[in-house]
Structure 1
Amino acid sequence: MLEAIESLPLAIYLRRDLFAYPIVNALHILSLGMLVTSAVLMDARVLGAGRAVPLDAAIGVLRPVAIAALAVALVTGALLFSVRPGEYAGNPVFLTKLGLIGLALANAGFFVFGRRHLWPESAVTRVSATVSILLWISVLFAGRAIAFFGGS
């Protein structure tokens, strides 16, 4: 299956075109930056930072940014993966990054569907926000570490 992914016309194009891969890579980094920044800002607000901005307003502005950035990060990440799927699939740091993303998204789902923003003073909500910050920052570190452990 990995060979089939690597043989896709878009994967071949990304490997051969001078500008395509760097553009997709830059969009991936930009979208991850937007995602992590918006998540950390929401979590920081839940934890009490920026009290001048109502929590619902902060979440109302930042959540759509985070969702859009996540969508772009997933698409660009899949495109980057398609260039060398065999290398990435065997890279423990890449697999760790995927696991961290899964945990961060599960935590976000717990927060959103549990409507935790309605109880910002709750210990569970505060732990969830703190864990979110740690997970998203860990995703960034893992993503950068991939280049040093067999991928780019």
Structure 2
Amino acid sequence: MQSPAFSGIPWIASNAYAYPVLEVLHITGIALLLGNLVLLELRLWGAAPELPVQPLARLSLRLVLGGFALVAASGLLMFAAHPAEMLGNRAFVLKLALVMLAGLNAAMFHARGGLERPDGVARAQTVLSLGLWLAAIICGRWIAYL
């Protein structure tokens, strides 16, 4: 018998619109997060040198955080629909690990002042960031197939 703590939120799973709306919100959050990260990372790699890094970073990082908040909120609600199934899904568990690593990479990037000195380490961190987020998105798509 399944524990009540892992039974999920039935209205999300049973409502014809709830889960698809959450998926749209999740994808919108991913677009905000990844799109703005790529924009800022391209600037750190030297694209559009006429754009000052700091004002661009202030704008794009606000949108990144807003996108992440949307991804986290919608993701938690989708998880709540089928928690036991999700915890048993290798792609889901790997996705969470990748998101955690992306967050740690971002914290290390900002802690060392990567925006102020876009050196080789900072640029490597941007490549790692993009790779981690893309891998997390790929794992997210594979959840339905494992």
TM-score using structure 2 length = 0.92
Partner of 1:78: 76
Task: Give the whole-Å Cα distance in 2 for the aligned partners of 1:66 and 1:86.
Answer: 29
Matched-pair contact (CA < 8 Å) for 2:13–2:82: no
Matched-pair contact (CA < 8 Å) for 2:33–2:64: yes
Matched-pair contact (CA < 8 Å) for 2:86–2:92: yes
Task: Give the whole-Å Cα distance in 2 for the aligned partners of 1:53 and 1:137.
Answer: 26
Matches within 5 A, 1:121-136: 122-136=119-133
Could you tell me which amino acid in structure 2 is paired with residue 56 of structure 1? Q
Matches within 5 A, 1:113-152: 113-120=111-118, 122-149=119-146
Q: How many pairs does the alignment contain? A: 145
Moved over 2 A (4+): none
Task: Give the whole-Å Cα distance in 1 for the aligned partners of 2:4 and 2:37.
Answer: 35
Partner of 2:88: 90
Q: 2:37 aligns with which of 36, 39, 48?
A: 39
Partner of 1:103: 101
Task: Give the whole-Å Cα distance in 1 for the aligned partners of 2:134 and 2:46.
Answer: 19
Cα distance change on mapping 1:138 and 1:2 into 2, 3 Å: farther
Partner of 1:50: 48
Could you tell me which amino acid in structure 1 is paired with residue 5 of structure 2? A
Q: CA RMSD in A?
A: 1.6
TM-score using structure 1 length = 0.88
Could you tell me which amino acid in structure 2 is paired with residue 82 of structure 1? A
SS of residue in 2 equivalent to 1:147: helix
Q: CA deviation at 1:125?
A: 0.8
- Give 5+ residue unaligned stretches, structure 2: none
- Give 5+ residue unaligned stretches, structure 1: none
Q: CA deviation at 1:28?
A: 0.9
Q: CA deviation at 1:24?
A: 1.1
- Fraction of identical pairs, as percent: 28
Cα distance change on mapping 1:48 and 1:90 into 2, 3 Å: same
